[in-house]
Amino acid sequence: MKEIRVALFDDNDIRRDGVELLLKTTEGYVCCGSYEHAGNLVAELHDAQPDVVIMDIDMPGIDGIEAVRILKGAFPNLPVMMQTVFDHDEKVFESILAGATGYLLKKTPPVKLLEAISEMHDGGAPMTPEIAAKVLAFFAKQNTPEP
């Protein structure tokens, strides 16, 4: 099985180190880059050559949503999973509109994170169940006739 190369952007050192360790110690995954901000995003991704990117939203300087916009301009086919504590509708939809491929909350268990990375690598769009419910409710509301 070919290893899935993952680049990680998160300003929380403990969180970033934990995900990096998870990737390094799980067969089939490799952390090819771990960054605390997205200031050099394009150059870092060019060097790291990831298959998948995990992006935090709330980072200093360029936030994760803007980073996805920049990333998609340079690497339009690179899948990006937002991973954050935010489940607010605004952040969810801004991320999707920016080009995010998946959206997981940081409370997602490690095994589910690994499954989501694999799913995204295989062309899927993984979402935490709470986020998927928000997306479905939004589209259902769009199709509801006005009284």
CATH number of the domain enclosing 16: 3.40.50.2300
Q: Is residue 147 part of a domain?
A: no
Query: How many structural domains comprise the chain?
Result: 1
Domain that holds residue 28: 4-142
Looking at the predicted structure, is the pLDDT value of residue 65 above 90? yes
Q: Is residue 87 part of a domain?
A: yes
Q: Is residue 59 part of a domain?
A: yes
Q: Is residue 73 part of a domain?
A: yes
* Mean pLDDT across 38-57: 96
pLDDT of residue 41: 94
pLDDT of residue 138: 76
What is the β-pairing status of strands 29-35 and 4-9?
parallel
Q: Is residue 56 part of a domain?
A: yes
Query: What share of the chain has pLDDT > 90, as a percent?
Result: 69
- pTM, whole model, 2 decimals? 0.89
Per-residue pLDDT tens over the stretch 2-36: 899 999 999 999 999 999 999 999 999 999 999 99
Q: How confident is the model at residue 125 (pLDDT cuts 50, 70, 90)?
A: very high
Decide if 104 contacts 82 (C-beta within 8 A): yes
Q: Is residue 35 part of a domain?
A: yes
Q: How confident is the model at residue 146 (pLDDT cuts 50, 70, 90)?
A: low
Q: Is residue 136 part of a domain?
A: yes
